[in-house]
Structure 1
Amino acid sequence: MNRSRSFAMVRSLLSLSAREVVSDHCLLAPCLSSIPCELYRPLLDAAFAHCRPLAIGELVQRWPERTLSIGRQRSSDHEPPNRLCVSALLLAVVRGLTDKRCCLQVLDMCGLQCEDGRLEDSMGGWSLTVALCSMLLQARNITAAIRGCRRDKQDKKKRATGTERDGAVKRDRAGLKKEEVEKMDCSENAAREQDSTKGVRRKMELQRRTEAEPEQVHSRDVLVNVRADLFVNARSWERVRRAMCLSGPLRLHCRFLRVEELPASSIVSLLHLIPQEELLGLDVRYSSLGVSGLALLLPQLAPFPQLCSLRLHYCNLDMLRARPGQQEALQDLSKGLGDLKSLRRLSLTALRLPGHLRLLLSSLSEPLEALELPYLSLTSGDMAYLSRSPHASSLAELDLSENRLDESSLHSLRHLLDQAELSLTRLSLCGCGLSDGSLRVLLPSLGQCNALRSLRLALNPLSRAALVGLAWAAAGIHSLKLLLYPNPLEEYEPGLPSMPSSAQLLDWPLIEDSGAKELTVAQLDEVLRAKGRTQDLLLTSNLLKYSTDLEMDD
């Protein structure tokens, strides 16, 4: 205990000292040459925490280690870095290319971007991706300018050498006869013609190579490898594509690729620029791919051996209406998913594929660990397959939101929960039409999920009494940290239908009198106090703050 307390005191003292040092830029700059390498990391953390972009620039420009990791080093309780701090970091990396004191070879920025729009000063994924592309272009221009200066110096040296040689030749000719001078001129002209011919051939050869092969990034030319998660849409697609094609001292590597509003052909062209062993996940949103686009895209993912996550959100795939060739297209989709041997997370949002879940998932060679199927119009047959599939006992995350669960589906869901009781950590059943009776059927199985950490049941038509029963069951799950519950029916204005949909619950006005809300909160708090869970279990009905769209992947 004394050792751990002493260690905590040392860390606190180091943090306070680092804060004081980075707060004064005039003090920091002259002292860096005498500061040990081990203190650069605490100083950089303090500079990010207290928004000191000048200090960040000084530290990164002369970074003493081969690797600098920004995104993964930050804990979840810290806010994302300020936009100015990130810009200072990127500028310092470019400047460090010409600084002999800088040892940086790998810059890891994976997980750095913030998609929470409430943090105005933070840098989102799209802005960070564009900034990285600008950094690559700046670095290439700087090195090109340096090489140009070197070539100018070499040309001047050659011209000076040529002038000296011509002077020596003139001096030698002064004492020769006319026939000997003419013979010397002929030999010199022949040598010049030979050199000129070689030069032309060399230029033609280089031109043929340039035309035959696109510009490639050679590892011997790369000084710093930059790893990041990229976010590309229609506005930035061309810029990102050009940046990843550039040769230069910086090379951009992609771990997770998120694209929005892009056709399948553009997504495929980006995939061709990413080394196959690097990509871990692909997230496609709001792109009108359709069946044909997905049939084009999925085979292009098979060569990526580490691809473990695939998300398809609102990709305009509707199987509610029968069309010619529809079954063959689904077979192609199933085969494309089956070729992804490392796939562990699959998200299919609003693709509207009722009755086709078996066809899609049965082709997977390994069981999934995370499955998100919101707005998929699942049928009771789909639920029956899922509850008895090889994926049931391995699922750690399951999202069935906005799929109406009738009585026949509830039996399958209970069986699924029984199968996943040891592995399931996150469960979302928002907007599934669960009534008080449906909840009573599910509670025994929910109570047995001993690994559950997050349970989301928003936008279900439940009474206040049912919520209290849910709170008792949730408090009995010792691993549970978050319960997102719906507003009880007693908190809505009169006129709500007896079995309202999730859309009606979302749009219907709540009673302005805060007494109804206070009564619900008081009863739920009483349950937490009785179970001793007031400190480690959060009960909330705040949809915005705990929306799954705002959660970042580990």
Structure 2
Amino acid sequence: MVLSLVSICAKEVVSDHSSSPCWLRWVPRELYRALLEAAFSSCRPLAVGELVQRWPERTLRVGGRRKQGQTPPNRLCIQALLLAVVRGLSDHRCALQFLDLCGLQGDEGGMGDPMGGWSLTVALCTMVVQAKAGAQRAQKREGERERKRFSALQRERDVKRERGQRKLGLEIVDSKERNHKEGTGSSVVIGEEELIKGVRRRMEMERKREGALTDEGSSSNDSEEKDGVSDVSLHVRADLFVNARSWERVRVALNTHGPLKLQCRYLRVEEISVSSIKTLLDLLPRQGLLGVDVRYSSLGVAGLAELLPLLSTFPTLNSLRLHYCNLDFHRDHHGQEEALRDLSQGLTHLQHLQRLSLTALRLPGQLRVLLSSLSQPLEILELPYLSLSPADLAYLSCSHHANTLQQLDLSENRLDETTLPSVRRLLFQASSSLQHLSLSGCGLTDGLLGLLLPSLGGCRSLKSLALALNPLSTAGLLDLVRTAARMSSLRQLLYPNPLEDYQPGLPELPSSAQLLDWPLDETTEINATSTQLNRVLLHSGRSDLFLTCDLLNYDKDLLD
């Protein structure tokens, strides 16, 4: 990556924190973004804090999709950013009103000590609570100053009133003496009594007015203490990761009415009950939630059917992911048929759903019931470990989703001669739209792959293809790479280790689990297969196609 002159200068400026008081007051607002990026990339948390605390614009976006090779921000820099956001609420130089942290989290324990999704969520919730506490302290100090000012004004009015009464008394005495000399005492008595009544009436009216103002002020203070600090100064949008350990803290933060308002783009929950998930969804703002990801939670068919009506109240929801949620379906189990109908009915209300991911839900033969309920065609469909039946694949190849699919994952679903025609028909239907395809662990042999290669070659928009953990020989891999080289749109191919590279003793048709656990033969050259396959690419003139057998580090999203 080539750095611009502005980026190089910004790195030099933020490198010395001792000089920041000299340049920070004079830097134009147009350079704040470059300086903040330099502070993140150089891991300068103090510079991050000072820049964010006096951020000159109304919007700040940190995070988003990272480029290939770009590491996420350091944990210390993120913590400095969050602390500066709270301090900036009371700093008149800070104009920040919307903070977008979506995509900021990294993988826990990754390179550069990034902050993971769970840690970031906990830190954000702590920030929301601290901001409210700080606003309440500031409000209390302001209220104390107001009471002192009101007491000073009241004392001043009392002093003026006392001086006025003393002056009026002296005038009455002087008038009485003059009238006595002139012989008009009765009229003086009447005038004196009227004056006294008038003074008392004015004093009573002033006391009533002051009492009304005091009561009004006390009632307004009581309502503020009851409702808390309700004026939102800053909206913070992020992806939230909630599990059983952080659920209570997230619930409190979402239920807090203070200067910071927490919004959610993608909600990921793990090992949480249906009732707890419903509580979180009730607290989230209805606008802005794009996706819900539920993992390792024993929802069951009935639990998911209970959640779907609540999910339908989010108008922008376009992604639903369910991973290992124990949606095991048994026809002989009482109430399962009715629960499945409720589930199908609930899916009909998700009008804007574009992505549906179902992992290991064990619903064989029920794909038609689920997908036919969706009125809008899906763009992303992930069905790994779903034990798809021939009827499921036959329905999918003829469904209204086939023509619009951009991403399809059928990993770990066993394919054979009976299901291969449906898969070929599906690839033909999606040939113009499909960009990412995963058929890893599907039991594809050389013969099955040979039947499938013409359909794969017809996918004109395919960018990435994953075929890991399939029992292919070196000859089958060579045929695969030759076909991939003719696909002009393909940029990434995840291929399996050939059977010849494994130690002896592997079954004739090994499963994906056996291929994953079986050791490779140490006597063979490590890069022999890779060199042979890349030689095929070189002869084909395809230097832009990346070949890899690294299943753990394969990431199709780097192409986007």
- TM score, norm. by length of structure 1: 0.90
| Secondary structure class of the residue paired with 1:238 | helix
Deviations 1:498-553 (A, max 9, x none): 111111111122212242x43312211211111122x32111111111167xx699
Distance 1:145 1:202 in 2: 18
Match of 2:356 in 1: 346
Match of 1:230 in 2: 240
Give, as a single letter, the amino acid of the residue that structure 2 aligns with 1:419: Q
For the aligned residue pairs, the C-alpha RMSD in angstroms reads 2.8
Q: Residue 193 of structure 1: CA displacement?
A: 8.2
Give, as a single letter, the amino acid of the residue that structure 2 aligns with 1:362: S
Task: Give yes or no for contact 1:345–1:370 (8 Å, CA) kept in 2.
Answer: yes
Match of 2:146 in 1: 154
Matches within 5 A, 1:373-522: 373-515=383-525, 517-522=526-531
Please say which of residues 194-203 and 435-444 is displaced more in the overlay.
194-203
Matches within 5 A, 1:200-279: 218=230, 221-279=231-289
Task: Give yes or no for contact 2:65–2:103 (8 Å, CA) kept in 1.
Answer: no
CA gap 1:377/1:322 in 2 versus in 1, 3 angstroms: farther
Q: Unpaired runs of 5+ in structure 1?
A: 1-7
Give, as a single letter, the amino acid of the residue that structure 2 aligns with 1:127: S
Q: Residue 182 of structure 1: CA displacement?
A: 11
Please say which of residues 444-453 and 312-321 is displaced more in the overlay.
312-321
Q: Residue 62 of structure 1: CA displacement?
A: 1.2
Of residues 44, 54, 64, the one that matches 2:46 is: 54
Distance 1:210 1:14 in 2: 49
| Secondary structure class of the residue paired with 1:257 | strand
Deviations 1:145-180 (A, max 9, x none): 221111111111122223333334444555759999
Distance 1:29 1:253 in 2: 34
Give, as a single letter, the amino acid of the residue that structure 2 aligns with 1:333: L
Q: Residue 216 of structure 1: CA displacement?
A: 8.3
Distance 1:490 1:395 in 2: 35
Q: Residue 28 of structure 1: CA displacement?
A: 2.7
Is residue 108 of structure 1 aligned with residue 97 of structure 2?
no
Distance 1:202 1:269 in 2: 36
| Secondary structure class of the residue paired with 2:289 | coil
| Secondary structure class of the residue paired with 2:527 | helix
Give, as a single letter, the amino acid of the residue that structure 2 aligns with 1:366: Q
Deviations 1:107-141 (A, max 9, x none): 11111111364335001111111111111122222
Distance 1:436 1:271 in 2: 48
Q: Residue 181 of structure 1: CA displacement?
A: 8.5
Give, as a single letter, the amino acid of the residue that structure 1 aligns with 2:113: D
Is residue 536 of structure 1 aligned with residue 544 of structure 2?
yes
- TM score, norm. by length of structure 2: 0.89
Match of 2:536 in 1: 527
Q: Residue 432 of structure 1: CA displacement?
A: 0.8
Task: Give yes or no for contact 1:217–1:251 (8 Å, CA) kept in 2.
Answer: no
Task: Give yes or no for contact 1:484–1:540 (8 Å, CA) kept in 2.
Answer: yes
Q: How many residues align?
A: 537
Give, as a single letter, the amino acid of the residue that structure 2 aligns with 1:98: S
Of residues 285, 302, 308, the one that matches 2:295 is: 285
Greater C-alpha Rg: 2
| Secondary structure class of the residue paired with 1:474 | helix
| Secondary structure class of the residue paired with 1:407 | coil
Give, as a single letter, the amino acid of the residue that structure 2 aligns with 1:532: G
Matches within 5 A, 1:65-104: 65-72=57-64, 74-104=66-96
Deviations 1:69-100 (A, max 9, x none): 11137534421001111111111111111221
Distance 1:279 1:217 in 2: 25
Distance 1:40 1:473 in 2: 49
Of residues 15, 24, 28, the one that matches 1:32 is: 24
Task: Give yes or no for contact 1:353–1:377 (8 Å, CA) kept in 2.
Answer: yes
Q: Residue 332 of structure 1: CA displacement?
A: 0.9
Give, as a single letter, the amino acid of the residue that structure 2 aligns with 1:317: L
Of residues 3, 6, 13, the one that matches 1:14 is: 6
Match of 1:4 in 2: none
Give, as a single letter, the amino acid of the residue that structure 1 aligns with 2:544: D
Task: Give yes or no for contact 2:472–2:499 (8 Å, CA) kept in 1.
Answer: yes
Task: Give yes or no for contact 1:277–1:305 (8 Å, CA) kept in 2.
Answer: yes
CA gap 1:98/1:198 in 2 versus in 1, 3 angstroms: closer
Distance 1:166 1:529 in 2: 98
Of residues 290, 294, 297, the one that matches 2:307 is: 297
Match of 1:329 in 2: 339
Among all aligned residue pairs of Structure 1 and Structure 2, give the percentage whose two residues are the same amino acid: 57
Q: Residue 322 of structure 1: CA displacement?
A: 2.8
CA gap 1:40/1:199 in 2 versus in 1, 3 angstroms: closer
CA gap 1:188/1:293 in 2 versus in 1, 3 angstroms: farther
CA gap 1:512/1:116 in 2 versus in 1, 3 angstroms: farther
Distance 1:430 1:492 in 2: 18
CA gap 1:198/1:57 in 2 versus in 1, 3 angstroms: closer
Please say which of residues 382-391 and 471-480 is displaced more in the overlay.
471-480
Match of 2:113 in 1: 121
